[in-house]
């Protein structure tokens, strides 16, 4: 292990395998730096130094970078991300770090409860400094004393953890700055300090302090963990420490996360406040799986499971792996937890009253994820995810599904994709308590169900991740196909024999086609032909006995086959009714007329003889 660590330290500052596109914190200034590194205009080491100065002291940047930084300041929410990412890259690539702890500020306040020092430059800042100290004491009590997060190393001469209050140029918020590994411990932790911007409101700053102190405890556990989870966790923790202010902030940033459900829950690229809104991932996990622990303790256990002893250069156990291990101890798994998350993230706001809602404070969060389209499942059809909404690993699409009022036929939805899953289909109505789940088996994910009257359900297409999933290297989203419609397809009639039928006769028909069910019925239009019997022969053939009335309308008739489940098909010009052949007519004497109208032969004399003979027989019988 030592050999490989020393080898890494010997790598040149611009090792060719480093891709500046791997920078996760992407704001206008850092993007310009990445582009300059990619063009060879900056070394990686120089680019890192510019990024760092843009956070800590943009006024010291050389031109034209100073003008660029002043025109587009590093926002407060990105400060910690830039500095932690810089630290991780420097350590992994063996680059020199000229940073360290800042010089002491003129004035300070020391806590009487915990090893905390708040420094500030002049008396004008004292009110804010006192509010910061109070917030730090409350946060320390909860995060470290009660919930058991590791105490940040404090290596000042006074052995106190330093929090500075000064003008950062960020117009509020603050950041944590890592300094160096804390070599007194075997795991990959680091020392740090916190900066709080002078424009924070003293009445609200406790929330920011809780967030930044959470970062300090993370640095004390695993300074190499993915920056996305740093922000997920600290935004979650500030809500636990300061529910009033914290939940208000959480709800504000949750919108950015909820509007992009196709992105991975572990997505590492910066996109608005996506990392911050991602607090909802550990928030849901802790709500569902904390058990007897407090929610924050569950999240602490995730961090403990992600700690490693790599010698300071490799995040060998990432937090998603740690979540999977922790859930296995609780008879679940990362895949099952992500399925549960896909449901629970919809059950907020007005849907928090759902009997399936299980998330802490669900009614205080207002943004639900959007649907990507509408499916009318009673019709045969197919659909694909729209461009720009293809789900990444551990991402989800939501579809609104419908069927006609009173519809009761069994329905089927099947998902296929050439991309790896695993995939899961979830069907639920937020107003109900029924959740139907179908997981991928042999490449097919199929959900079969009978619709319930009055429901307006959501279909969630949930994509999981494989064992090779890495939250720092998330691939693009992938496509899939949904095929849907009745479980048993509608019958199809393609041939009826015989075609011609005569008025006043009975006949046997053979109806050929597809998807016939035993118990199928047959009718005609016009409704003048009587169906005597329908015999199921096979999926593709029916035998039908019919009776054609003497007065049946002449011409073509349609035939309709209806299966017991309600599926039907009408076949035009199935039979053609013709008049029966004309019979010979009798004349007025009871004789069959010849075509000329004359008697057909000498019938009359023989008829008289027969009548006289019959009369004689009758007379003899009764005398």
Alpha helix (H) residue ranges in 94-202: 126-140
Among 326, 83, 53, smallest CA distance to 190 is for 83
- pLDDT at residue 14 in the model: 43
Alpha helix (H) residue ranges in 57-151: 65-71, 76-93, 126-140
- pLDDT at residue 323 in the model: 97
Q: What are phi and psi of 353, to 5 degrees?
A: -80, 0
Distance CA 347, CA 301 (A): 26
Tell me what the mean pLDDT of segment 259-282 comes to: 89
Range with the poorest average pLDDT among 455-469, 535-549, 589-603: 589-603
CB atoms within 10 A of CB 106: 10
- pLDDT at residue 590 in the model: 52
Regarding beta strands 445-449 and 411-416, do their DSSP bridges make them parallel or antiparallel, or are they unpaired? antiparallel
pLDDT band at 589 (very low <50, low <70, confident <90, very high): low
- pLDDT at residue 224 in the model: 95
CATH of domain 101-223: 3.30.2010
User: What are 305's two structure tokens?
Assistant: 């499971």
353-380 in b/e form (b: 16+ CB < 10 A) is ebebbebbbbeebebbbebbbebebbee
pLDDT in tens, 121-162: 999 999 999 999 999 999 999 999 999 999 999 876 678 999
Distance CA 436, CA 401 (A): 14
pLDDT in tens, 448-473: 999 988 888 999 999 999 988 999 88
Distance CA 575, CA 578 (A): 10
Burial class (CB in 10 A: 0-12, 13-18, 19+), 418: exposed
User: Mean pLDDT over all residues of the chain?
Assistant: 89
pLDDT in tens, 154-206: 876 678 999 999 988 776 789 999 999 998 999 999 999 999 999 999 999 99
- pLDDT at residue 20 in the model: 87
Report the percentage of the chain scoring pLDDT > 70: 89
Distance CA 623, CA 619 (A): 6
Half-sphere exposure of 12 (CA within 13 A, CB side): 5
Distance CA 208, CA 175 (A): 9
The end-to-end CA distance of the chain, in Å, is 139
- Per-residue DSSP letter, 114: S
User: What are 269's two structure tokens?
Assistant: 């690229």
Q: What are phi and psi of 388, to 5 degrees?
A: 85, -5
Distance CA 405, CA 175 (A): 56
**pLDDT exceeds 60 at position 8:** no
Among 403, 450, 453, smallest CA distance to 565 is for 450
The CATH number of 492-578, from 3.40.50.720, 3.20.20.410, 2.30.30.100, 2.60.40.10, is 2.60.40.10
Distance CA 290, CA 302 (A): 11
Distance CA 487, CA 413 (A): 8
User: What are 567's two structure tokens?
Assistant: 């599926």
What CA dihedral angle connects 365, 339, 453 and 412, to 10 degrees?
150
Among 522, 527, 564, smallest CA distance to 543 is for 522
Coil, helix or strand for 155?
A: coil
pLDDT in tens, 52-81: 999 998 989 999 999 999 998 888 889 999
- Higher-scoring residue by pLDDT: 239, 311: 239
Tell me what the mean pLDDT of segment 107-120 comes to: 97
Burial class (CB in 10 A: 0-12, 13-18, 19+), 519: exposed
Residue with tokens 């205009």: 41
Residue with tokens 């035993």: 518
Coil, helix or strand for 39?
A: coil
Q: Which residues pair with 509 in a beta bridge?
A: 544
Q: What are phi and psi of 603, to 5 degrees?
A: -80, -35
pLDDT in tens, 423-440: 999 999 998 899 999 999
CATH 2.60.120.380 fits 364-486, yes or no: yes
Among 577, 575, 578, 595, smallest CA distance to 587 is for 595
Alpha helix (H) residue ranges in 121-166: 126-140
- Higher-scoring residue by pLDDT: 610, 9: 610
Coil, helix or strand for 119?
A: strand
């Amino acid at each position: 292990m030592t050999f490989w660590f020393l080898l890494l330290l010997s790598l040149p500052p611009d090792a060719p395998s480093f891709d500046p596109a791997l920078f996760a914190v992407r704001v206008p200034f850092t993007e310009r730096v990445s582009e300059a590194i990619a063009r060879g205009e900056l070394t990686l080491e120089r680019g890192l130094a510019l990024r760092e100065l843009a956070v800590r002291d943009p006024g010291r940047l050389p031109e034209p970078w100073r003008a660029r930084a002043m025109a587009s300041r590093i926002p407060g929410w990105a400060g910690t991300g830039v500095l932690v990412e810089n630290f991780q890259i420097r350590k992994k690539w063996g680059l020199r770090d000229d940073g360290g702890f800042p010089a002491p500020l003129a004035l300070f306040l020391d806590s009487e409860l915990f090893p905390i020092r708040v420094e500030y430059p002049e008396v004008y800042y004292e009110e804010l400094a006192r509010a910061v100290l109070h917030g730090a004491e409350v946060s320390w009590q909860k995060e470290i004393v009660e919930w058991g997060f590791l105490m940040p190393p404090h290596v000042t001469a006074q052995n106190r953890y330093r929090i500075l209050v000064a003008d950062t140029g960020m117009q509020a918020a603050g950041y944590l700055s890592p300094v160096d590994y804390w070599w007194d411990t075997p795991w990959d932790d680091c020392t740090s300090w916190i900066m709080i911007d002078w424009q924070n409101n003293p009445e609200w700053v406790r929330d920011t302090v809780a967030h930044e102190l959470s970062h300090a405890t993370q640095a004390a556990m695993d300074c190499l963990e993915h920056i996305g989870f740093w922000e997920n966790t600290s935004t979650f923790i500030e809500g636990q420490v300061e529910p009033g202010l914290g939940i208000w902030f959480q709800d504000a940033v949750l919108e950015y996360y909820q509007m992009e459900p196709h992105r991975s829950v572990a997505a590492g690229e910066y996109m608005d406040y996506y990392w911050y809104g991602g607090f909802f991932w550990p928030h849901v996990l802790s709500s569902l799986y904390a058990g007897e622990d407090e929610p924050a303790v569950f999240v602490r256990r995730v961090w403990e499971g992600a700690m490693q002893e790599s010698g300071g250069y490799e995040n060998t156990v990432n937090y998603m792996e740690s979540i999977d291990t922790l859930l296995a101890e609780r008879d679940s798994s990362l895949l099952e937890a992500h399925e549960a998350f896909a449901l629970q993230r919809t059950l907020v706001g007005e849907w928090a009253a759902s009997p399936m809602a299980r998330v802490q404070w669900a009614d205080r969060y207002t943004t639900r994820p959007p649907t990507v389209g509408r499916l009318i499942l009673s019709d045969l059809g197919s659909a694909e995810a729209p461009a720009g909404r293809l789900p990444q690993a551990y991402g989800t699409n939501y579809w609104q599904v419908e069927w006609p009022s009173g519809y009761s036929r069994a329905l089927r939805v099947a998902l296929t994709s050439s991309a790896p899953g695993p995939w899961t289909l979830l069907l639920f109505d937020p107003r109900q308590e029924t959740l139907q789940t179908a997981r991928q088996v042999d490449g097919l994910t199929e959900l079969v169900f009978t619709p319930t009257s009055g429901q307006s359900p959501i279909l969630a297409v949930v994509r999981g991740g494989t064992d090779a999933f890495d939250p720092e290297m998330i691939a693009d989203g992938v496509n899939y196909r949904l095929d849907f419609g009745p479980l048993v397809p509608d019958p199809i009639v393609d041939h009826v024999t015989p075609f011609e039928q005569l008025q006043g006769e009975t006949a046997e028909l053979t109806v050929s086609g597809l998807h016939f069910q035993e118990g199928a019925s047959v009718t005609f239009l016009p409704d003048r032909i009587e169906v005597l019997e329908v015999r199921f022969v096979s999926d593709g053939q029916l035998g039908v006995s019919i009776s054609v009335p003497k007065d049946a309308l002449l011409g073509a008739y349609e035939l309709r086959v209806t299966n017991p489940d309600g599926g039907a098909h009408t076949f035009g010009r199935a039979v053609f009714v013709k008049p029966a052949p004309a019979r010979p007519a009798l004349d007025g004497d009871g004789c069959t007329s010849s075509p000329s109208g004359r008697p057909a032969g000498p019938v009359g004399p023989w008829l008289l003889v027969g009548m006289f003979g019959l009369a004689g027989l009758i007379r003899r019988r009764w005398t």
